[in-house]
Amino acid sequence: MPLNANNPSRQSWINVPENNDFPIQNIPFGVFLTRDDIITIGTRIGDTAIDLGALHQLGYFKGIDLTDDIFLQDSLNDFIADGRKTWRLVRNRISDIFLKGNHELQNNNVHCDKILFKMDEIEMQLPVDVGDYTDFYASKEHATNVGSLFRDPENALLPNWLHIPIGYHGRSSSIIPSGTPVHRPVGQTKPTEEGGKPGFGPSKALDFELEMAFITTDANDLGKRVKLEEAEDYIFGLVQFNDWSARDIQAWEYVPLGPFLGKSFASTISAWIVTLDALEPFRTDGPVQNPAPLTYLSQGGNMNFDIKLEVGIQPEGGEETVLAKSNFKYMYWSMAQQLTHHTLNGCNVRSGDMMGSGTISGPTKDSYGSMLELTWRGANPLTLKDGSERKFINDGDNVKMRAYCEKDGLRIGFGNCDGKVLPAVE
């Protein structure tokens, strides 16, 4: 099936402001509450939200095999379970309906009134009901920085790192959509003297992690494996992801079983899922893998994606300072390798599962994806535009992430992935 919808010359009859993340080539998927408080699955062109539930009810998806209520859901899980062929048919149809020159809907004011909303009239929700969430650790620069900070700069990477896409199971219940405030977590911290009583209270080392995450469809039954060459067929799309981390809580609790309460208080994702189809024009080679991975992880070609990443802090009542710029293409292990490895033991992957990249740090100091790395564990505080310093995140800070691709005048982006930090609850 050709990806017509990606043609960069296509324009919509819906206005798309300059530098907007959502031209007609994007067609992301999300869930929102309409102005009438109805929950629906939708997409977006420019600053216009499109109610796919209404579009379907009014007959615009005729000829595509969809259940009547497929878009009248509070999550995308069922639609994602329909598989890649259906996603493409729906994507292409949406692209046609809103193409400049197609007046079928444009000239029907009654329909437009039921289908189109201004973004500020609606309320974005979590797009998927995440069954299982896994976070990988796939940026070599990040793993090297963390290894240098906490272990030995000469042997920063652990022996398994270059052979395995290292990952761990995360907490699904605390995944929240962009814009949801985050309470500073309370926790135990390392005793100040050996054998002493642990510390207790609000985290003093609250951090962000600049990540992307992909959302899967049903990939395999328990006991079966996904082959690398098929892995991308099971990836519906990506979200931007802030894997909030309380470094002091994490440092005390994480041996020997890994991160737990230092992470599970909140995980913010963008409200829009951008499909792998929309990202197709931005494919690029990943880093050279040396030593070569084992056969089941051996891949050819351009399995990475050139997605520019940014993170900034906007203090209470102030202006945002961009702290770092990175890129999703720095990921050492590709999404296809991650998903393939995840099923090597027969672990089943389901529709709506989410797999995070881990912090994506680049090669230079201004491309590190966490405060931990940017301030080198607090040794080099950052100065914001208002003159205030940060080793970690303060109460009242709004942490803002952006992710977008840009090439030949086409920009495909993810919208907001923001979260404001509120004081700890007593």
Helix ranges (DSSP H) in 131-192: 140-150
DSSP state of 140: H
Q: Which of 155, 294, 298, 316 binds a second copy (CB under 8 A)?
A: 294
In whole angstroms, the minimum distance from the beta carbon of 123 to a second copy comes to 17
In whole angstroms, the minimum distance from the beta carbon of 370 to a second copy comes to 15
Q: Please say which residue, 59 or 195, places its beta carbon nearer to a second copy.
A: 195
In whole angstroms, the minimum distance from the beta carbon of 304 to a second copy comes to 22
What residues from 311 to 350 belong to the interface with a second copy (CB under 8 A)? 341-342, 344-350
Q: Which of 18, 62, 103, 255 binds a second copy (CB under 8 A)?
A: 255
Place of tokens 């230079």: 364
Residue 98 binds a second copy, judged by CB under 8 A: no
- Segment lying near a second copy (by CB under 8 A), choices 47-55, 78-86, 223-231, 327-335: 223-231
Q: Which of 106, 144, 188, 394 binds a second copy (CB under 8 A)?
A: 188
Q: Please say which residue, 2 or 159, places its beta carbon nearer to a second copy.
A: 159
* Tokens representing residue 118 in the block: 């201004």
DSSP collapsed to 3 states, 272-317: CEEEHHHHHHHEECCCCCCCCCCHHHCCCCCCEECCEEEEEEECCC
Residue 142 annotated to the active site = yes
Residue 38 binds a second copy, judged by CB under 8 A: no
Active-site choice (56, 142, 341, 342): 142
Q: Which of 186, 325, 396, 406 binds a second copy (CB under 8 A)?
A: 186
Q: What are phi and psi of 309, to 5 degrees?
A: -120, 145
Residue 200 binds a second copy, judged by CB under 8 A: yes
Omega of the bond leading into 256 within 30 degrees of 0 (cis): yes
In whole angstroms, the minimum distance from the beta carbon of 245 to a second copy comes to 11
User: For residue 390, which of 326, 320, 333, 299 has the smallest C-alpha distance?
Assistant: 320
Q: Which of 167, 369, 415, 419 binds a second copy (CB under 8 A)?
A: 167
The C-alpha R_g of the chain, in whole angstroms, comes to 22
Rounded-to-integer distance, Cα 11 and Cα 97, Å = 11
In whole angstroms, the minimum distance from the beta carbon of 328 to a second copy comes to 20
Rounded-to-integer distance, Cα 387 and Cα 60, Å = 54
Rounded-to-integer distance, Cα 268 and Cα 272, Å = 12
Catalytic positions are 142
